[in-house]
Amino acid sequence: MATEMPQRIPSGGVDLSHLAQRGAAPAGAQAQGPGAPAQPGGPQTVDVPALVLDVTDAAFGQIAPLSAVVPIVFDLWADWSEPSKALSPILEKVTRELDGRVLLARVDVDANPGLAQAFQAQSIPTVVAMIGERPVPLFQGPVPEQEVREFFVRLIQLAEENGVAGRVNAPDGGAAQPEAPAEPQVPEAHLAAFEAAERGDFDTAVREWEAVLQKSPADSDAKAALAQSKLLQRLQGHTLEDIRAEAAAKPADLEAQMRVADLDLSGGHIEDAFLRLLDLFAAADEDARALIRGRLLELFEVVGVADPRVIAARGRLANLLY
User: Are 163 and 194 within one domain?
Assistant: no
CA 292/CA 279 separation, integer angstroms: 10
Same domain for 40 and 169, yes or no, is yes
DSSP string, 212-235: HHHH-TT-HHHHHHHHHHHHHHHH
**Is 229 domain-assigned?**
yes
pLDDT at residue 54, as a whole number = 93
Range of the domain at 216: 188-321
| Positions in the chain whose pLDDT score sits under 70 | 1-43, 172-184
3-state class (DSSP) for residue 178: coil
Q: Per residue in 228-266, is it b (16+ CB within 10 Å) or e — as a string?
A: bbbbbbbbeeeeeeebeebbeeeeeeeebbbbbbbbbbb
In a domain, 7, yes or no: no
Residue 29: the pLDDT is 33
The verdict on 148 and 217 lying in the same domain is: no
Q: Identify whether 285 is part of a domain.
A: yes
User: Do 116 and 206 fall within a single domain?
Assistant: no
245 in any annotated domain: yes
| 84 within 8 A of 125, measured Cβ to Cβ | yes
Tell me phi and psi for residue 208, to 5 degrees: -70, -40
Residue 6 lies in a domain: no
If asked whether residues 61 and 134 sit together in one domain, one would say yes
Of 174, 198, 219, which marks where a domain is finished?
174
What is the spatial distance between Cα 183 and Cα 185, in angstroms, rounded to a whole number?
6
Domain edge (last residue) among 148, 174, 200: 174
**Does 181 fall in a domain?**
no
Number of structural domains, the chain? 2
102/40 same-domain check: yes
Domain with residue 160: its CATH number is 3.40.30.10
| 283 domain-assigned | yes
Whether 169 contacts 48, CB under 8 Å: yes
Per-residue pLDDT tens digits for 166-199: 898 888 664 434 444 555 677 888 999 889 888 8
Q: Is the pTM of this model over 0.85?
A: no
Residues 151/94, Cβ–Cβ less than 8 Å? no
**Could you tell me if residue 141 is inside a domain?**
yes
